[in-house]
Chain A
Amino acid sequence: MIRTADRQRAAALLQGFLDAGATLVETEILQPAGTLLDLYGEDIRARAFTTHDPLTGEAMLRPDFTVPVVQAHMNNGADVARYCYAGEVFRRQEVDEGRPREYLQVGFEVFDGTDPAAADAEVFDLIATALAPWSTHPVTGDLGILTAAVDGLTTSEPRRAALRRHIWRPSRFRRLMDRFTGKAAVPATRTALLAQVAETSVEALIDAAGPAVGLRSADEIAARVRALTEDAALPPVSHTEAEVIGMLLALDCPMAQAISPLRDMAVDLPSLIPAIDRLEARAAALARRGHTPDTLPFAPARGRTAMEYYDGFTFTFTAPGRLDLAPLATGGRYDALTSVLGRGRGVPAVGGVIRPGLLGDLA
């Protein structure tokens, strides 16, 4: 339950964000389900409360502020903006009955593409300062590095697109890598299909398979069979490049110390260079604000869970020794989300939220 003290703490945190120059925004608690479902897929149903509005259809109790805040920003056509907010979010708990279903979030979002490294550092610093009265442990990541590695793989664009599509799903991503490197065997049925295609036309095979039922048409099926044929003729992703991906997923060291091994990896995968430059600029921007990249934990693939939208810098603050508590604050960069919600027109954006209710649990 949200306690009076949580609301007071939320108000104090919000005042801090207002003092930092943010505009206060409100969003509706009842959000149209369609947008959230299109973004996250059915998985969101396990995490958000769905309800039915007799006039407008399915609605969800706000699981998060970022999506409606981004939508409002993109609709207003504003360019540079800083927003803050405080209010309830609602999360279904299907696994852990002890976790709260409604709690407060206080957040800060920056829409400003002039100096992304400075904006990253601004948000991190603001959250760190707000949390200064409590003992917290920050960790950082950067999904932009993994994406840059995928973009640089010497393979087909459909393969790169498949990997990008599953960048937030670690197990599916690994399975795709195993397939593209030749580590996983091709299913027998696939081999059989490709052998048939070599003998008979795809259209004849489709005709023979059964009546065309459903919306997925014969030419969609044929197009995918042709894509499979092309894919089968591709050489596997090289051992060297696959190794770089593996090293990126495993890398976990202080931020400043990550730069040199990443530069080594960029020798094999030059597409990493701009992403490493961004990381280096961010480390410098954090240092200018008094943080210490020499000790700040960094793992590029951190924050890689489904139901996230971060595609660059990520950070979380946890309570040391309190593994039972969810992170006290989380945040990151979500440039791609703004393009999706802005129907192609994107604005570089970064933000973070604090959970004041959890702070009350810390003695």
Chain B
Amino acid sequence: MIRLGVPSKGRLMEKTFDWFGKHGLTLSRTGSDREYAGRVDGADIALVLLSAGEVPRELAEGRLHLGVTGSDLVREKLTRWNSKVETLARMDFGHADLILAVPKVWIDVDTLDDLDAAAAQFRARHGHRLRIATKYHRQVREFLQDNGVADYQLVDSQGATEGTVLNHTAEMIADITSTGETLRANHLKVLSDGMIHASQATLFRSRTAKWTKSQKTDLDDLRLRLGV
């Protein structure tokens, strides 16, 4: 039997259920609200309910055959993610963009080129590297490295990241934004080429899970039904 992992609560779970429902597969939670058990009607699939943040690891370890989670989480948690999982379907919900934002008052900074130059100037003036608050360390570091930005440092922020600039614990942020509302409220603006990753809920297939012959047949059937 194929093991499918989906987010265990909230809108992400509901939207996931809706998405599969549209393709004729009824996913549901069983038992009480607190019990993370579920079932799939219409196919021979074991439903595993778990936190979206745990799905990447479970896919990479091969304990799930398929999993639904944000594409940003897969990129953040897995090294060489595309050698461990395959993208089967972008599900067009759970949109969130990982962006770089600086104070609006920085009228001289609009691009990564500007940011790099401002970082050099900042370090010379303040004696420490320009601090970027984020919880998405890997993606931010790789993006800035690919774009040749130097003289910055990442400071960890697990929440209220937009407030770090006001509190002088960071000079700018790299964070997920779905609306931009909070950015504006905190007097921040997005760099014009500062989109690190446009994330959305995605159905992934594990490349490391063991696929028996019957599981492979089940997957082919499922892909046909899902049109992916």
Instruction: List chain A positions with a Cβ less than 8 A from chain B.
Output: 37-38, 41-43, 45-46, 94-95, 97, 162, 165-166, 169, 171-172, 175, 179, 187, 189-190, 193, 205-206, 209-216, 218, 220-221, 223-225, 228, 306
Given the known interface contacts A189-B110, A215-B126, the answer about A209 and B105 at a Cβ–Cβ threshold of 8 Å is yes
Write out the residue numbers on chain B whose beta carbons fall within 8 Å of the beta carbon of A212: 103, 105
The residue that B108 contacts in the complex, of A46, A97, A165, A228, with Cβ under 8 A, is A228
Q: Are A172 and B121 in contact (CB under 8 A)?
A: no
The residue that B171 contacts in the complex, of A187, A205, A215, with Cβ under 8 A, is A215
Write out the residue numbers on chain A whose beta carbons fall within 8 Å of the beta carbon of B171: 214-216
Interface string of B160-190 (1 = CB under 8 A from A): 0000011010111000000000000011000
B72 located at the interface, meaning its Cβ lies under 8 Å from any Cβ of chain A in the complex:
no
Cα(A189)–Cα(B142), bound, Å: 26
The residue that A187 contacts in the complex, of B110, B129, B154, with Cβ under 8 A, is B110
Given the known interface contacts A41-B152, A215-B168, the answer about A210 and B103 at a Cβ–Cβ threshold of 8 Å is yes
Interface string of B135-152 (1 = CB under 8 A from A): 001000110110110111
Q: Are B121 and A206 in contact (CB under 8 A)?
A: no
Cα(A95)–Cα(B83), bound, Å: 10
Write out the residue numbers on chain A whose beta carbons fall within 8 Å of the beta carbon of B152: 41-42
If A206-B107, A223-B121 are given as contacts, then 6 extra A-B residue pairs at C-beta distance below 8 Å, sorted by A number, are: A97-B80, A165-B120, A190-B114, A211-B105, A212-B105, A214-B171
Cα(A140)–Cα(B200), bound, Å: 47
Q: Are B105 and A206 in contact (CB under 8 A)?
A: yes
Cα(A48)–Cα(B118), bound, Å: 27
Interface string of B105-127 (1 = CB under 8 A from A): 11110110110111011100110
Q: Are B79 and A94 in contact (CB under 8 A)?
A: yes
CB distance from B127 to the nearest CB of A (A): 10
Cα(A187)–Cα(B112), bound, Å: 11
B217 located at the interface, meaning its Cβ lies under 8 Å from any Cβ of chain A in the complex:
no
7 closest A-B pairs by beta carbon, nearest first, are A172-B148, A210-B104, A189-B110, A224-B108, A214-B165, A169-B148, A210-B105
CB distance from A158 to the nearest CB of B (A): 9
Q: Are B105 and A221 in contact (CB under 8 A)?
A: yes
A–B Cβ pairs within 8 angstroms, 22 of them = A41-B150, A42-B141, A46-B145, A95-B80, A162-B120, A165-B150, A169-B150, A172-B116, A172-B147, A179-B113, A187-B110, A187-B111, A190-B110, A190-B114, A212-B103, A214-B105, A216-B106, A216-B171, A220-B125, A221-B108, A225-B108, A228-B108
Cα(A43)–Cα(B103), bound, Å: 24
